[in-house]
Copies of this chain bind each other. A is one copy, B any other.
C-alpha cells in the first residue's frame, strides 16, 4: 500500500509534519509507504524553497486545485487555525483522508462542521495532538489502561512558556483574537486539555481565570501600539466525568519555562509525572513496591518494551520533539490500512473545543461552567 500526501502549510508545523512523512518508512517498516506528493503554500518562491528543503515532489499555491487531484490520498492541514474549517470541508468533499494540526478550529461551530463533513464523507480524520505520542505519555496511558494507577483522583497539568514576557515584543498575530482565537488557552491549554481527556476521560466542568499581563504591544508596522486581545495566561479548576478533580494552567509568562508541558496523575495505586522538556522520561510511583522501597522512579521510555520502542535506537538513546509527529503519522497510516479509528480525531477536536469554550465562558461569568 502506498499513500500519496499533500501538505498544506510551510512554516513550523509544515516542517514538523514534513519530517514525519520523510522518515516514517525508515523507522517503521510495517507502515504503508508514503509519497510526499505536493506541498502547498501561499508564496510561490517560499513554497518552492520549502518543497526542496523538506523533500516534496511538487509545490503548489493553488490549494483548491490540489484538493481535487486524484493522485492525492491524504490531505494534511498545517495552516493557521482560522483556515482549517474551509480546507477540511473541501478535503472531505473530495474524499480525502485528513490530518489536521491542532487546534481543530478557532470556534466550536467550525469544529463541528469539520467533524460532520468528514463523517459524512466517510474519510479518515485525525487531529495532530502529537504529545499523546511521546513514548512516556503513551506509557502513562498504558499504565492507566492496565489499572496500574487504580482509580484516578487527580490530574494536574501545566503548559508553561516564557517567550512573551518582553513588553518590546511586537503585537504578532498570536496576540490578536481575530487571527488566533485565543492566547495561551488555545495555543497551550488545548494541549493539556487533550492530554487530560486522553488519560483521565472527559472533563465535565470548569472554572477559570484568564489574564493579560501586557495589554498593548508595539504594532508590527512600527506605528505606535496596538491592544493585545487574547489571554497571556489561564488558570483552571476542572472536574472529570469519572470523578477526578484537576488544575490546569497555561502561560507565556513563566520565566525559565521554555516548553514545560507537564502533568501529574495520582491514582489509588500509583502516580505518574511527565514533563515535555524531558519527554523520554516518565516518573512513576507504585504502591505495590516494597514498603521500605517506594519512591518515584524515572523510566527512560526508550526500550523495546515501551510504546514505539525498538524502532529508533537502543535503550537509553533518547529521541526528540519531532519524533512524536512521526509516531502520529505512523499510527494514522496503520489506521488507514486497518480501517480502525485512530485518535485523537475530529470528534476529539470538538470535545476539546467545548472545554475551551467552557473555559472562556467560566472566566467571563466568574462561575463554574459545564462543558456540554
What residues of chain A have their CB less than 8 Å away from a CB belonging to chain B?
A: 12, 16, 18-19, 22-23, 25-26, 29, 53-55, 139, 142-143, 148-149, 153-154, 156, 158, 160-163, 165, 207-209, 211, 213, 233, 235-237, 239, 243, 245-247, 249, 251, 253-260, 264, 266-271, 276-279, 281-287, 289, 291-300, 302-303, 305-306, 312-323, 366-368
Measured CA separation A25–B207 after assembly (Å): 48
Known contacts A296-B298, A306-B292, A314-B12, A287 near B237 by CB under 8 Å: no
Partner of A305, one of B251, B254, B292, B299: B292
Contacts of A251 in B (CB 8 A): 153-154, 266
For this chain, the copies found in one complex come to 4
Partner of A302, one of B258, B268, B368: B258
CB distance from A136 to the nearest CB of B (A): 11
Contacts of A211 in B (CB 8 A): 243, 245
Are B259 and A316 interface neighbours, CB within 8 A? yes
Are B257 and A271 interface neighbours, CB within 8 A? yes
Partner of A266, one of B257, B295, B296: B257
Measured CA separation A236–B208 after assembly (Å): 9
CB distance from A161 to the nearest CB of B (A): 7
Contacts of A29 in B (CB 8 A): 53
Nearest chain B residue, comparing its CB with the CB of A244: B211
Nearest chain B residue, comparing its CB with the CB of A301: B292
Are A207 and B237 interface neighbours, CB within 8 A? yes
A-B contact pairs, 13 of them (CB 8 A): A22-B26, A153-B213, A153-B253, A153-B254, A207-B367, A211-B245, A247-B247, A253-B268, A277-B316, A291-B305, A296-B297, A296-B298, A312-B320
